[in-house]
Each structure stands twice: as C-alpha cells, then as structure tokens.
Amino acid sequence: MKLVKKIVTHIANSHLSKLDRLYQKHEGQECYIFGDGVSLKWMDLKQFADRPSILGGMLIYHKEANVLNIPYSAIIEPFFFYPIFPYRSNGGFELLRHTFYKEYKKSIIQNPETIFFVNLSNYPVASFPNTLFVSRWYKSSFRDKNPFRDRDDSHQGTLRFQLSLAIYLGFKKAYLVGHDYTHFPSRSLHFYEKGEGLLDGGKDFCRDFIKYANQYIDLVTVTLDSNSETMKSITYKDLTGKNPSYRENIDIVDRVKLESLATWHGYSIF
C-alpha cells in the first residue's frame, strides 16, 4: 500500500508542488487557527476579523464565517468528497453514506478567494480552481525547516495539519480558536451540534506535536474560562473585551447545512 501511495504521489507531483509557492508567504505575521469546538457557540466571530485565519473542519458553514479574513481552509480527510466514505469504527472500517460533502463543495465554489487544502484522494471528485491537494507523501525540495517533510504525523488530524501549515507559511504567532481539546478542562461536542457539551478533561491531547510546533510558532489557545496544559492561554473576554454569549447551533448554522451534517455518523444535530 505504501508503494502504491508513493507511485500515485509521484504521478500527482505537479498538483502537490503547488504548495511550494506558499512557503513563508506570511513570514512574521500572526493568525487565527480555527477548530470546530463547541466553545465557538459563546464567541462572536466578528471579533476575529483582524488577522488572517486558517479554518478547519466545518467552520466555513458558520453564518458569520464571511466576516473573517480567510485565505486558507483545510478539510484533509481522505475520500471526504465521495458519497460513500470509509469510516473507521471499532478498529475496522465501515462504508458510511453521507451528503454533507455536497454542501462543502458549494462552500468551496462560493469562496473563490480562499485556498481549500484537500487530501489528494479527493482529486477525481473535488478539483476546483481554489483547491490545493496535499499528501503526507509529498516531499518538497526545500532545505529550510519544513514541517511537511520533518514530521510523518503532520497530516494526522486537522490540528496537526493546521499547525504544520502555519509554520510552513511563516506565521510567528497563532491564536487557536475552537480547538477545545487544547483547553483544560476541555468541552465535548462541535459548534454545529446541539447543546453546550460536557467538560471531559483533554489534558494530554496532541501534547507531543504541540511541543514540537511551539519551537517554531508562538501558540495561544482562546478559552472561555479555563487554561491549557500544553500551551499559553487567554480567555475570550481578555482577548476581545467581550463577554461570552451562548447561541444554539440553529442560530449560527443554516438548517440545510445542519441537515447535511446530520447524515454523518454520531453527530447530535437536532
């Protein structure tokens, strides 16, 4: 399987090498790195429009996403844009039928100024002018520090990819917003699921990779009222001057998008 992936990556090199032109493009700047955490329900996205953002997951679905400065968004799940998805469950795989890939394709088309990083496996079904395909097998020729080359786990999960990308782009500081597993204690659920979530620990989430990333970029996670065991933290109020104010998922995500998300395994939407 590894040999097959390497052969495919070599053939697709002309597409993957487009990443090279972004190297150190934002040298010395600060950014926001957004996750999908439920803490976003208490936050006004307009307060984060002053820096460029790297979105992850489904934040592009948020009704206020259009107020952000979004040069980049990442959805790096392999085979995400296929109608039947190979979902890992209980140590094996099952084929999952879902429809929210259709809504995500609309988001890509509706945001032509944003570069969407998409796993190479999706090339046959998600090739748009503003998609940039990525693979952990791609090795650029840069001699400088390159997290996509130096870490084999740089594509394992949205946060690792976003941190690798931020370093690659040259950002000197990043505020993590909605990456609730970096909070201690952390809170479960996504912003597009129903409810406030439950406090569930999260003490050691991604600790080794965050330690690595902290050598190259100053990381600060934005919390509601907690701190972090792995990086510096600041509360939403201290950063923005605004008090948190809770809104339910139906208030911040269109119903059509919520209905598409409800087709995914395990989500509690309505």
Q: CA–CA separation, 54 vs 73, rounded Å?
A: 5
Name the pTM for this structure: 0.91
Which residue in this structure is represented by tokens 């097959």? Answer: 4
The overall longest dimension of the chain from CA atoms, in Å, is: 53
Residue 138: both structure tokens together: 């791609």
CA–CA distances in Å: residue 210 to residues 144, 186, 204:
20, 16, 10
Q: Helix and strand tally (H, E) in the chain?
A: 9, 12
Question: Digits of tens for pLDDT over the chain (270 positions)?
Answer: 566 556 666 666 777 788 888 989 999 999 999 999 999 999 999 999 999 999 999 999 999 999 999 999 999 998 889 888 776 666 666 677 778 889 999 999 999 999 999 998 899 999 999 999 988 777 665 545 567 767 888 888 999 999 999 999 999 999 999 999 999 999 999 999 999 998 886 667 899 999 999 999 999 999 999 999 999 999 999 999 999 999 999 999 999 999 999 988 789 999
Give 117-165 as a 3 state SS string.
EEEHHHCCCCCCCCEEEECCCCCCCCCCCCHHHHCCCCCCCHHHHHHHH
8 Å CB contact between 268 and 213: no
Question: Domain boundaries in the chain?
Answer: 2-261
Residues 107-116 pLDDT 10s: 999 999 999 9
Report CA dihedral (210, 216, 222, 226) to the nearest 10 degrees: 50
Q: Are 83 and 99 in contact (CB under 8 A)?
A: yes
CATH number of 2-261: 3.90.1480
Beta bridge partners of 162: none
pLDDT (tens digit, 9 = 90+) per residue, 12-46? Answer: 677 778 888 898 999 999 999 999 999 999 999 99
